[in-house]
Amino acid sequence: MAMDPMEIIEGILDTAEEMAENLTGLSTDDEEDDEED
């Protein structure tokens, strides 16, 4: 599986971007959950 280093980096950045969007979308829910605890 020899891949272009740039392709690997771009794939990681795309995944990180999606994860960041998911985290920002859930951040308010997490705060509410903490308050309930």
Task: Report pLDDT for 3.
Answer: 79
DSSP string for residues in the chain? ----HHHHHHHHHHHHHHHHHHHHHHHHHHHHHHHH-
Task: Report pLDDT for 18.
Answer: 92
- Per-residue pLDDT tens over the stretch 1-37: 677 999 999 999 999 999 998 888 765 555 555 555 5
- Nearest-Å Rg of the Cα atoms of the chain is 16
Task: Report pLDDT for 2.
Answer: 75
Task: Report pLDDT for 28.
Answer: 58
CB atoms within 10 A of CB 35: 7
Task: Report pLDDT for 23.
Answer: 85
- Residue type at 13? L
